[in-house]
Structure 1
Amino acid sequence: MGNDDHWIALDNLCHLLSEFDVKIFTTIEYVKELNRLGCKYYLKHELEIKEDSESKSNFLTRIRSEIEKSDVIMLETLRTEFEWFAKNRLNIPVILFVHCLNWWAFPKKRWPLFRILRNIKGIRSKLTVFNLIPSIKGENVLNRQRVLMNVDALVFHDPGMVDYYYSNWTPPFHQIAVMPYTYYDPDVTLTIKNHGSDNNKGVTKTIRFIVPGSIYQSRRNYDLILVAFEEAAKQTQVKIELIFPGPLLRYESNYGLTLKKRFDRINSSNSNLMIHYNSGRETTSTDEYNGYMQSSDVIVSQMPLNGKKMFKYYDEKYCESTACHYADLARFCKPGIFPGSFKMIPELAQIVDIYYTESELIAIILKYTNREFLTNRKSKAERLSRKYFSKEPIMRLFLKQMLSEQVNRIETTKHVVGTE
């Protein structure tokens, strides 16, 4: 019900839960975004939409009795109404999906107020900071702590978050499970093959690298990536394409415009390197994004070398307190290039190259211009994705971690998914 960009994650979750009886409680605004992006799996489940005349808290109060008739509620993302969930302990097991663990669980990771104000430009913005970013208010910080006391289990998208949680959370512990943000889905590949893709050039001498994700200056590693690709293009006769599908102007438009100028300069000055980018403000549709990903050869992570990420003025770290979105490798069966801050997942070790310096990144890029090496890596990626990251093994592990004592019963029970 709050501002949320995790529409694709919800749709993927609906697919993973397709064998269960699921009802989704959400808002019309959220459904419109699901439809705009071309999400389809959620349509197979029952929906209940908040009335326009209802406040969010009134909606939650109205549906509470129905929710408590279910066997479990999953809060796929919770960004608002902390006070309601802090004051209302539901009489069924509650599972909370956590994307940024420090923001949720560890208030000391929040920036001090003087640092927040120093980071914000404009007197008016400084004076209204708590209205602009209500989650940093003391009452909301406290309510998030109380919410955690009212949930039974936490789900992380990155296995590295499990160790971080146990190292920093004071017992008693929640039940913990890991579920990737996305996963290998043969339907995705089949749909693209059947309908074709404007981005798919078939057999070509061009090697296509893609840098997925939204465009943020504060969280990403574009400078190093661009410098390395420019240098690599000078050292090979193989033509290279570099794709940025995330909208340049959606989140940090001034920085996006700066990147656009840099992309255009590179395109006009380097015959071996062509950069494709999304110059708009809207996230691309699911089909369009899948087309870009499927037609690419190698996924390049935009994580910074130090792994640091700022989220709502909290310090987070990829692969520790927040997920690094490694699962795109499995969804699209691609090899990947990651910085040294990536905590290797054993199942992916054969298809991931790690770099710590600019020269190492250049060497890895050049390695992938060898078509035989690339073909071998892509074959391994498909084999590993099918084995470890398809729907069946993911759900088997999830049930084992989360519901091991109730597996037999849960197969026929009802789930409720909230899209806060």
Structure 2
Amino acid sequence: MEIRFGASLSQNSSFRRTMEDTYVVKADLAVDYPSVGSKNFLVGVFDGHGGAKTALHTAEVLPEVLADQLRALASLNSGSQEDSSASDSEPSDSEAATAPETGSPSEQADAGASVNASPEARPMATNSGAGSTPQFTAAHAIDRAFARIDEQLANDNVRLPGSAVAVCLLTEDPTAGRRILTVGNLGDVKAVLIPGPLDIFRSPPAELASRPVYDLSLDHTPRDTDERDRVLRDGGLVFRNRVGGVLAVSRALGDLSLKPAVSVRPFTVEFDLEQVLRAEGATEGLLVVASDGLWNVFKSDDLAAEALSFFERKAGRGGTGPAGSPDPMATAATATDEDLDSADLADGEDSLCHQLADHLVKTSITSGSMDNITAVVVRVTLPPVTSA
């Protein structure tokens, strides 16, 4: 499996005096943390509020904290308790039993069955937890990593700054032949998956336009009735659709002054990425993770249409996007293949992914977004199917 990525971010200084977004990408956690074993590609987007401190801290420590949790849970799954140093990181059975908040396998089957029946973006549900014996998965690791980071922030007495977050972890298990994508989010940072092929030289426009879009995250705001009820049960107040009258999201890292009403328990999805893509007849997929500065402008389906229109323009087909507006890349300064020489790119970085991320950010600004904007684009290409 080939994984390429690119990112772009903007303070959007016409409306924002400070930049509170950030992101992290690790092409393989195992390079820095060999104990995690399998290859793990990590991307996280963090949308701070009340200052950038929580977002910056989380981006810095998440890779190590998550690697610790993956190692500890792998130890539990194997039944090995030889490494006593992992004991502080290992969740109890009761913690793992309730973590994380997910959909059910049957919901995933329903979503898959209706994939061609509706143009709306479809939420994915986890396929973890099947069978009679509970297993600790990467979803549990993300849940525990968020809890550990929140504890760090509390110990540092970070009372006001907080951060919404979305984390995607793609784990390759060559032994089992599985490629598991796990996504966990708090607040309104979102992730979507668009099955390919994205190769515009091999796919006619009609085929590209008919591709489904999967929502991989869930917005946590007091506008949602269930979230509002949970905030109230946890002792919080909701005024004008804000927790405590001040915070628009109901789950986030930090925000110590609003805990426990502002929860740190993520919504997660976990599934075999290759299996889902192959079921769609796809050879690759596009994963877009972005802060709400982008999603305030784009719905999931609109973003997919804009991304595919971008690929059409790169092929010289002259697409203009869903609204028929001219391509902002024609007048806005942006990266080109020549600007982003391969020698300037880190492992896994890709100039086309950078250009698409940059295009989405610029389009969000020209379309009226008034927030900081961060977008990470990940392009996953499946290996060829080998005949038996």
Instruction: State whether TM-score is above 0.5.
Output: no
More helix by share: 1
Question: Shorter-chain-normalised TM-score: which range?
Answer: under 0.3
The structure with more radius of gyration: 1
More strand by share: 2
